[in-house]
Amino acid sequence: MRAGLLFLVLIVPSVAPAQRASLPVIDVHFHAPLEPGPVEGFAPSFRRYIAVMDTMNVRMAVLNGLPDVLYDWRARAPERLIPALLFPCENGVGTNWGRPCFENGREFPDLEWLRDEVKAGRVKALGEITAQYMGIAPDDPRLEPYFALAEDFDIPVFIHMGLGPPNAAYASSPAAVKSPHYSAAAGNPLRLEPVLERHRKLRVAVMHAAWPYGEEMTLMLYLNPNVYVDVAVLQSAIPRPAYYSYLKQLVDAGYATRIMFGSDGGPREIRQGVEAIVDADFLTREQKRDILCGNAARFLRLPASTCQGAS
């Protein structure tokens, strides 16, 4: 998650873009800029993102961010970007990067405002929910109204769980804006269970697949058919053998159809993320297609045609 994890990038072998663009891709973890600054100043970044999406055959992306940049970027490519609202914002600014979030320095979006935005189609998903950075677990009462709203409108929720930047709760964290209340325990997938008991129809994507909570994440997938995971940032935040070991654990447990691709970054992370899936020799061709595109299309209820072509 660009809201927190683009701080350790491992050197991986370079791969020609044409080799990585054959399979269709949906990126479910794609960030609008979270740094302070005028919205128009991010136009060059937008053009670079769209260019790499074209090169890597990324058909669509779930774009998460804060209202001003989120709406600006979505308006530039409305057929390819699904807008998702990022929150909460400790001290009123975006996690790790510091962009002001909501009016009056609020940490959580106003519920009536959000309900109107969802009704109007300006927000089509909730996430990235960055509550773990504030030491807030999913079963915290402060998040309950937002889960209820998502279930009422049948929109998906994307929630950060598991790893954050190195030394996340310390002043030595590489993040521009520190998160002194970051809690590893708040990222345990088992903390989702009370939420899912109350909201049986809620669609939840656990970001970063809650690494390194492999056993707990597998159990939640086993017990809850509406829970999926994304593998965003694992391609660059942890060593490749550790990523593959974790991914293989989920696949071997039978959940290759509920793992989704996410980049959590810019052009480099998109390329590295697609490469990591394509090069995984323990995945079948069908599993690669599912992880890169098909599973996300099903989770997001997109037309099957979104992932057709390019075998």
DSSP state of 93: B
Does residue 88 have a cis peptide bond before it, meaning omega lies within 30 degrees of 0? Answer: yes
Assess if residue 9 is contained within a domain.
Answer: no
pLDDT (0 to 100) of residue 45 = 95
Assess if residue 308 is contained within a domain.
Answer: no
Assess if residue 2 is contained within a domain.
Answer: no
Assess if residue 60 is contained within a domain.
Answer: yes
Assess if residue 199 is contained within a domain.
Answer: yes
Number of H helices, E strands in the chain: 12, 8
Answering whether pTM is above 0.85, one says yes
Domain that holds residue 203: 24-302
Nearest-CA neighbor of 129 among 165, 99, 88? Answer: 88
Q: What is the pLDDT of residues 12-33, one digit of tens each?
A: 333 344 444 589 999 999 999 9
Nearest-CA neighbor of 87 among 144, 30, 159? Answer: 159
Overall domain count for the chain: 1
Nearest-CA neighbor of 74 among 36, 111, 39, 101? Answer: 39
3-class secondary structure, 193: helix
pLDDT (0 to 100) of residue 296 = 98
CA 261 to chain centre: 9
Assess if residue 10 is contained within a domain.
Answer: no
Q: What is the pLDDT of residues 248-265, one digit of tens each?
A: 999 999 999 999 999 998
C-alpha 280/C-alpha 68 separation (Å) is 38
Assess if residue 36 is contained within a domain.
Answer: yes
What is the token pair recorded at 128?
């990235």
Q: Where are the beta strands (DSSP E) in the chain?
A: 25-31, 58-65, 81-87, 125-129, 157-160, 204-207, 227-230, 259-260
Assess if residue 90 is contained within a domain.
Answer: yes
pLDDT (0 to 100) of residue 311 = 60
pLDDT (0 to 100) of residue 304 = 86
What CATH number did the domain enclosing 161 receive? 3.20.20.140
Tell me the average confidence (pLDDT) per consecutive run of 10 residues in the chain, 311 residues long.
44 40 91 96 96 96 98 97 98 96 96 98 98 98 98 98 96 96 98 98 98 98 98 96 98 98 93 97 98 98 90 60
